[in-house]
């Protein structure tokens, strides 16, 4: 259900007026060298960060048949206090679009998407010594009916919960992880956690060795020390073989694969055809081939 204000706004604003005004509108002051707390990543002034992410958001909204984002950034929102709910999503909008839309329906205005590190700042927490509070000076708020609004907040709006795209090596991974580090509010992840969860070998070892949960039979070949694993990882259902140079250890690899496929751990798969069993070495049915660092 739309409010009278939302309906009238859509009727009076032309498509050109509703469109964002470019990098200056998305990243005000991006030419200035600002570092609110000395913790802002180096690319905090890059306008392309917000511009590209904003275009992705508009494309995703169009694909869902939803109206594009209204630009109300010239009319600062005021009156937000520490008790007002603010769920902040950092980074790529497409990954969290379903959550943003559902959150906008259930708690209109509480879901705020931050597309650039220039839109946020970190200040020392008043309630948790050694931690930081995340303040939003700009964001895309989501309302009922899939409506979204580009807004500025004066004074900056404090985040009560923070999550985002913590994908290791992703285009937003650096600044998203930095903004979300050591906050005084709950967070939905971190770059180190995402790095570990994206590594199937580390994930299986943690589940088997630390949590005592069963994992599929796994044979892993690792180059180098494997910094995310202990020196001698032992876990039920898993065997780790470290290789110094895979080009000169073909015999060892064949022997280990043969012993693995013929071992007791693979007895439940004894009816699987030869071709399928060979595919297990590549990861099918849980047998893992692991190369590279970690």
Report field, pTM of the whole predicted structure over 0.85: no
pLDDT digits (tens, 9 = 90+) for 162-200: 998 887 555 555 788 889 999 999 998 877 777 777 778
Asked if residue 39 has pLDDT above 60, the reply is: no
Q: Are residues 170 and 51 in the same domain?
A: yes
pLDDT digits (tens, 9 = 90+) for 202-226: 888 888 887 888 888 888 888 876 6
Q: Are residues 94 and 125 in the same domain?
A: yes
The residue behind tokens 């980074």 is: 91
Is 204 a member of any domain? yes
pLDDT at residue 163, rounded to an integer: 92
Structural domain range at position 250? 199-266
Is 175 a member of any domain? yes
Lowest mean pLDDT among 4-8, 159-163, 249-253: 4-8
Q: Are residues 172 and 53 in the same domain?
A: yes
The residue out of 142, 168, 189 marking a domain boundary is: 189
Lowest mean pLDDT among 207-216, 223-232, 270-279: 270-279
Q: Are residues 92 and 226 in the same domain?
A: no
Q: Are residues 261 and 183 in the same domain?
A: no
Q: Are residues 135 and 185 in the same domain?
A: yes
The secondary structure of 104-132 as a DSSP string is HHHSTTTEEEE--GGGEEEEE-SSSTT-E
Is 252 a member of any domain? yes
Q: Are residues 104 and 177 in the same domain?
A: yes
Q: Are residues 145 and 213 in the same domain?
A: no
Task: Give the tokens for residue 101.
Answer: 């839309």
More confident residue, 134 or 203: 134
Q: What is the mean pLDDT of residues 92-106?
A: 92
pLDDT at residue 134, rounded to an integer: 96
Going by pLDDT thresholds of 50, 70 and 90, the confidence category of residue 133 is very high
Q: How far apart are CA 264 and CA 212, in angstroms?
A: 20
Is 51 a member of any domain? yes
pLDDT at residue 31, rounded to an integer: 30
Which residues sit opposite 64 in a β-bridge? Answer: none
Asked if residue 17 has pLDDT above 60, the reply is: no
Q: Are residues 133 and 233 in the same domain?
A: no
Q: What is the mean pLDDT of residues 223-241?
A: 76
Residue 203, number of CB atoms within 10 A of its CB: 14
Taking a C-beta distance cutoff of 8 angstroms, is the pair 158, 71 a contact?
no
The residue out of 157, 189, 221 marking a domain boundary is: 189
Q: Are residues 56 and 184 in the same domain?
A: yes
pLDDT at residue 287, rounded to an integer: 39
Asked if residue 34 has pLDDT above 70, the reply is: no
pLDDT at residue 131, rounded to an integer: 94
pLDDT at residue 44, rounded to an integer: 39
Q: How many domains does the chain have?
A: 2
pLDDT at residue 23, rounded to an integer: 36
Lowest mean pLDDT among 83-87, 127-131, 243-247, 271-275: 271-275
Is 137 a member of any domain? yes
In the chain, what percentage of residues exceed pLDDT 90?
Answer: 35
Q: Kindly tell me the sign of the dihedral angle through the C-alpha atoms of 18, 23, 26, 29.
A: negative
The residue out of 189, 221, 253 marking a domain boundary is: 189
Is 5 a member of any domain? no
CA-based angle 153:159:162, to the nearest 5? Answer: 130
Is 75 a member of any domain? yes
Q: Are residues 100 and 155 in the same domain?
A: yes
Q: Residue 123 burial (CB < 10 Å; 0-12/13-18/19+)?
A: middle
Q: What is the mean pLDDT of residues 15-39?
A: 37
Is 141 a member of any domain? yes
Q: Are residues 227 and 122 in the same domain?
A: no
pLDDT digits (tens, 9 = 90+) for 43-98: 334 445 788 889 999 999 999 999 999 999 999 999 887 778 999 999 888 889 99
């Amino acid at each position: 259900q739309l409010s009278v204000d939302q309906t009238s706004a859509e009727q009076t604003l032309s498509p050109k007026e509703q469109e964002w005004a470019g990098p200056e509108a998305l990243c005000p002051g991006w030419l200035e060298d600002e570092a609110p707390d000395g913790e802002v990543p180096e690319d905090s002034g890059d306008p392309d960060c917000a511009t590209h992410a904003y275009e992705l958001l508009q494309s995703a909204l169009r694909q869902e048949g939803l109206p594009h984002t209204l630009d109300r950034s010239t009319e600062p929102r005021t009156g937000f206090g520490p008790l007002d709910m603010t769920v902040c999503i950092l980074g790529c909008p497409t990954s969290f679009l379903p959550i943003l839309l559902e959150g906008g329906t259930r708690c209109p205005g509480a879901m705020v998407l931050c597309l650039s590190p220039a839109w946020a700042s970190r200040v020392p927490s008043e309630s948790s010594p050694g931690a930081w509070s995340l303040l939003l000076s700009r964001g895309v708020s989501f309302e009922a009916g899939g409506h979204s609004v580009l807004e500025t907040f004066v004074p900056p709006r404090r985040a009560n919960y923070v999550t985002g795209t913590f994908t290791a090596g992703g285009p937003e991974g650096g600044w998203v992880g930095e903004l979300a580090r050591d906050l005084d509010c709950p967070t939905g992840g971190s770059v180190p956690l995402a790095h570990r969860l994206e590594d199937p070998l580390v994930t299986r070892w943690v589940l088997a060795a630390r949590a005592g949960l069963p994992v599929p039979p796994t044979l892993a070949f690792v180059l180098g020390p494997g910094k995310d694993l202990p020196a001698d990882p032992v876990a039920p259902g898993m065997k780790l073989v470290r290789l110094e140079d895979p080009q000169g250890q073909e015999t060892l690899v064949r022997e280990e694969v043969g012993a693995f496929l013929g071992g007791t751990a693979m007895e439940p798969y004894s009816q699987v055809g030869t071709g399928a069993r060979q595919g297990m070495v590549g990861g099918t049915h849980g047998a893992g081939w692991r190369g590279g660092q970690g």
